[in-house]
């Protein structure tokens, strides 16, 4: 059983970071109950990875009976995940005040893009917008070209879902000591800003030019920290920052001393990048892997996410698993004594409604009445 066995999380259905956070909590052993609308998409049919390990309960929160049902469920929960814009839960009658009146130990985690307050709080947005406001998007891409969105990894996932889990776990630890819950304002714009911490320090000491892309150590300007095309059109990545690693790169790639000796001569980085690119293109990706993989060059082949599960290193560590025929990342991090696991794949819409309510103390007659009224599905 995972380290969160015994904790109950009510996840109001949303997209992106909130379901990711719920997935990670479920992987770690929490009972995660996803509250969905009757006309919601069936996540089992969509093969939604984030729905793994969760129970599916259909509840009509536009009915007073639905609101009361949720509040009764909250009495038995440790966490509520709110994925809506600020004020939506309050309008429904299930905001923090209403929920914590029923359960003072409750952790009420509010996942938004812009946060619960401020001039943008009620504006729509997506990952690309949140990371734009933190400098993360500006810093990503090639010199004199437009910024390139790093998928939705920085705002939604790193700055959202993982920050949500971090906040929930901290609040649960505090509640164990104080006996009191609290509201967590989890904003993707805050999380993306957190992820930029190192570059603020670099810029403060003159080690980073924040005014342009591909001009710094870690943004593709340095020839020893970049990706390169191979003879077969595939790519490799190099990260030979430390001098001993760079020396090994020079040795294994047979880089001429005259051209590559001055590793940190930034004025010559474009020239060295061009020459290194010509050398890398002389061999296939597989040939470079044979030569460098597993050495201290700091090397890896650039793989697609469908290729990644087959790489020997990922196979050896069981980094990927298959659930209901869908290949997906295994739970992480890895606990030595209470390992995480995936209990099951996505449930059909409303599959767990009756059983979950019964386990929370609802009588069979109450459940039948709620179904007859269209409150549950």
Q: What is the DSSP string of 27-53?
A: HTT-EEEEEE-TTS--HHHHT-GGGTT
Q: What is the mean pLDDT of residues 152-170?
A: 98
Q: What is the mean pLDDT of residues 303-319?
A: 98
Q: Are the C-beta atoms of residues 336 and 1 closer than 8 Å to each other?
A: no
Exactly one of 126, 209, 259, 311 is catalytic; which is it? 126
Q: What does the pLDDT read at residue 108? A: 98
Q: What is the DSSP string of 241-272?
A: -SHHHHHHHHHHHT--HHHHS-TT-GGGHHHH
The residue that leads in pLDDT, 98 or 38, is: 98
Sequence-distant (≥ 6) Cβ neighbours of residue 316 within 8 angstroms: none
Label the pairing between strands 54-58 and 31-36: parallel
Q: What is the mean pLDDT of residues 280-284?
A: 98
User: 41 pLDDT exceeds 90?
Assistant: no
Sequence-distant (≥ 6) Cβ neighbours of residue 72 within 8 angstroms: 102, 360, 361, 362
* Mean pLDDT (the chain, rounded): 97
Q: What does the pLDDT read at residue 275? A: 98
Q: What does the pLDDT read at residue 42? A: 84
Phi and psi for 292 in degrees, rounded to 5? -120, -25
Q: What is the mean pLDDT of residues 246-259?
A: 98
User: 271 pLDDT exceeds 90?
Assistant: yes
Return the closest-CA partner of residue 362 out of 79, 106, 66, 96: 66
Q: What is the mean pLDDT of residues 182-211?
A: 98
**311 classed as catalytic:** no
DSSP label of 319: -
Sequence-distant (≥ 6) Cβ neighbours of residue 66 within 8 angstroms: 59, 60, 375, 376
Q: What does the pLDDT read at residue 249? A: 98
- Percent of all residues in the chain with a pLDDT value above 90, rounded to a whole number: 97
User: 43 pLDDT exceeds 90?
Assistant: no
Return the closest-CA partner of residue 339 out of 361, 318, 365, 323: 318
Residue boundaries of the structural domains of the chain? 8-195+320-372, 225-229+235-301
pLDDT class of 53 with cuts at 50, 70, 90: very high
Question: What's the topology of domain 8-195+320-372?
Answer: Rossmann fold (3.40.50)
**117 classed as catalytic:** no
The superfamily (CATH) of domain 225-229+235-301 is formyl-coa transferase, domain 3 (3.30.1540.10)
CA distances for 247 relative to 116, 227, 263, angstroms: 50, 18, 9
Q: What does the pLDDT read at residue 244? A: 98
Same CATH topology for 8-195+320-372 and 225-229+235-301? no
Q: What does the pLDDT read at residue 44? A: 83
Tens digit of each residue's pLDDT (9 = 90 or more) over 324-368: 999 999 999 999 999 999 999 999 999 999 999 999 999 999 999
Exactly one of 27, 48, 156, 219 is catalytic; which is it? 156
Q: What does the pLDDT read at residue 235? A: 98
Tens digit of each residue's pLDDT (9 = 90 or more) over 77-92: 999 999 999 999 999 9
pLDDT class of 157 with cuts at 50, 70, 90: very high
């Amino acid at each position: 059983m995972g380290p969160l066995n015994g904790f109950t999380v009510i996840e109001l259905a949303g997209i992106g970071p909130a379901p990711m956070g719920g997935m990670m909590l479920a992987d770690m052993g929490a009972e995660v109950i996803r509250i969905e609308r009757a006309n919601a998409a069936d996540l089992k049919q969509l093969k939604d990875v984030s729905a793994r390990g969760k129970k599916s309960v259909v509840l009509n929160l536009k009915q007073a009976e639905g609101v009361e049902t949720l509040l009764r469920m909250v009495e038995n929960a440790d966490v509520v995940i709110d994925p809506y814009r600020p004020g939506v839960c309050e309008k429904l009658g299930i905001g923090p005040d209403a929920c914590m009146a029923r359960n003072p130990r409750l952790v009420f985690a509010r996942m938004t893009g812009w946060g619960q307050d401020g001039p943008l709080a009620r504006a729509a947005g997506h990952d690309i917008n949140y990371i734009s406001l933190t400098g993360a998007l500006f810093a990503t891409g090639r010199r004199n070209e437009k910024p390139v969105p790093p998928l939705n990894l920085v705002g939604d996932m790193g700055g959202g879902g993982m920050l949500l889990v971090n906040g929930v776990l901290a609040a649960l630890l505090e509640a164990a000591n104080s006996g009191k819950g609290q509201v967590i304002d989890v904003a993707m714009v805050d999380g993306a800003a957190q992820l930029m911490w190192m570059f603020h320090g670099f810029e403060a000491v003159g080690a980073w030019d924040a005014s342009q892309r591909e001009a710094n150590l870690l943004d593709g300007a340095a020839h020893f920290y970049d990706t390169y095309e191979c003879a077969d059109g595939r790519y490799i990545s190099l990260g030979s920052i430390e001098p001993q690693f760079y020396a090994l790169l020079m040795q294994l790639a047979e880089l001429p001393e005259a051209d590559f000796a001055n590793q940190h001569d930034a004025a010559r980085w474009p020239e060295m990048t061009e020459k290194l690119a010509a050398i890398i293109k002389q061999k296939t990706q597989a040939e470079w892997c044979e030569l460098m993989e597993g050495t201290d060059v700091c090397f890896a082949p650039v793989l697609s996410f469908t290729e990644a599960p087959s790489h020997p290193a990922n196979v050896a560590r069981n980094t990927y698993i298959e659930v209901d025929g869908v290949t997906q990342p295994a739970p992480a991090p890895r606990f030595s004594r209470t390992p995480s696991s995936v209990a099951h794949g996505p449930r059909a819409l409303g599959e767990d409604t009756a059983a979950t309510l019964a386990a929370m103390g609802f009588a069979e007659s109450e459940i039948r009445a709620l179904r007859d009224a269209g409150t549950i599905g």
